[in-house]
Amino acid sequence: MELLNIKKLDLAGKKVFIRCDFNVPMDEFGNISDDRRIRSALSTINYCLDQDCAVILASHLGRPKGEVVEKYSIAPVARRLQQLLKREVLLACDVIGEDAMAKASALKETEVLLLENLRFEIGETQNDPAFSKKLSSMAEFYVNDAFGVSHRAHASVEGITHLFDEKHKAAGFLLQKEIQFFGKLIQKPVRPFAAIVGGSKVSGKLEALINLLPRVDKILVGGGMAFTFLKQMGYDIGASLVEDDLLEDAQHIMDEAKKLGVKFYLPIDVIAADKFAEDAVSKIVTAQEIPSGWMGLDIGPATVRLYREALNDVQTVLWNGPMGVYEMDKFARGSNKIAHFVADSYATTVVGGGDTADLVQRVGVDEEMTFISTGGGASLELLEGKVLPGVLPLIIEEA
């Protein structure tokens, strides 16, 4: 699959709108805890600046759901971007309001403007054509470099692409790199191929789990989502996170795995806590013995050992979702140990998802991974064989 290439655009001195993914994780003090997504966009931004373009950047941050919510202001991103680019970044105080339109129109060559959080406008997630039109009116060229959101048919990702012809739109370098990497991974993964899937809920990754089954040899489940499976297997899971409406789906996944000969692993022990807090009382218990009223917040040491064994012969690892509540030190151990093991292996190791990328960076093993994708949901959808709505309009049609 070949994408419209930014290098083929006649950009010199023109105004370019670049959709970026600056949806970065923040700590409890409002600091950016992992700026990988911002750094990953620099190649495309610098390329445009080297062409003397006036550069308009836009991204979402969090889920403000169409309202202006101060804590989701993109201002911290503008500050970090300014440090990384070593040049001034103008910030518009709205998205398509008076300020943004005036600043975009006055923007000169080699200047950079960042719009406020796209999701302050409800039209963004609704893929509203009027909103796309307003965004498109700011620039002569459109570049999508927001891999992490390319699986969403949103106004700045999908709708806007219809307002530029093939000579005026393209994929940025980051988007190209991600699509190429996953293209190769789907076509010919070196086997055995294991997926480590964690995070909070089954619901967010249900389809991905089903679609990954025919492609992988092993699935290792951790995080909150494991408890829906454990409950379905008849275990008493106490007050652990569970999605009762998905018990049947969990059974279906386990049945499918069996049918396809995919080895399906669940935690055999957990760190159980009496409450969801750093100062909780906690203990290691087997999956059979979670005390009533307690919740499993991490995988236990026996599971870590089991998962290491299971990963020993693996040649390709895809990891999406933490094994526990890694944000709290007390429940980060399982994720940390798996991170070290994956990092030390000679397999091709692919990490996807904001949380998992944040996790491996906190552990300090990010440099050891083969590839850290800036998109969790997007990378899973690619592996499922889907064509992403934000990428489809940028594919070069074969003659």
Nearer to ligand AMP, 124 or 358 (CB): 358
User: How many whole angstroms separate alpha carbon 59 and alpha carbon 22?
Assistant: 6
User: How many whole angstroms separate alpha carbon 208 and alpha carbon 255?
Assistant: 16
Nearer to ligand AMP, 123 or 354 (CB): 354
Nearest-CB residue for ligand AMP: 199
Nearer to ligand AMP, 46 or 200 (CB): 200
User: How many whole angstroms separate alpha carbon 146 and alpha carbon 229?
Assistant: 33
Which residues is 55 bridged to in the sheet? 16, 112
Least Å from the CB of residue 261 to ligand AMP? 27
In 3D, which of 119, 126, 26 has the Cα closest to residue 64?
119
215 is catalytic: no
Least Å from the CB of residue 322 to ligand AMP? 5
Tokens 């992988």 appear where? 216
Least Å from the CB of residue 23 to ligand AMP? 12
Q: Which of 14, 15, 19, 37 is an active site residue?
A: 37
Nearer to ligand AMP, 182 or 331 (CB): 331
Nearer to ligand AMP, 123 or 267 (CB): 267
Contacts of residue 313, defined as CB under 8 A and 6 or more positions apart, other chains included, come to 192
Q: Which helix (H) or strand (E) holds 273?
A: strand 269-273
Q: Which residues bind ligand AMP (CB under 6 A)?
A: 199-201, 204, 223-224, 241, 296-297, 321-322, 324-325, 327, 353, 355
Take residue 266 and report the two structure tokens written for it.
Answer: 């669940």
In 3D, which of 45, 185, 201 has the Cα closest to residue 110?
45
Least Å from the CB of residue 166 to ligand AMP? 36
Q: Which of 159, 321, 353, 354 is an active site residue?
A: 354
Q: Which of 39, 201, 215, 308 is an active site residue?
A: 201
Q: Which helix (H) or strand (E) holds 169?
A: strand 169-171
352 is catalytic: no
Nearer to ligand AMP, 148 or 296 (CB): 296
Q: Which of 300, 376, 377, 390 is an active site residue?
A: 377
354 is catalytic: yes
Least Å from the CB of residue 198 to ligand AMP? 6
7 is catalytic: no
Q: Is residue 351 helix, strand or coil? A: strand
Q: Tell me the HSE value of 217 on the side-chain side, using a 13 A CA sphere.
A: 13
Least Å from the CB of residue 289 to ligand AMP? 16
Which residues is 113 bridged to in the sheet? 56, 90
User: How many whole angstroms separate alpha carbon 301 and alpha carbon 150?
Assistant: 37
| ∠ Cα 169 134 22 (to 5°) | 65
Contacts of residue 104, defined as CB under 8 A and 6 or more positions apart, other chains included, come to 15, 56, 92, 113, 115, 138, 139
Catalytic residues: 37, 201, 354, 377
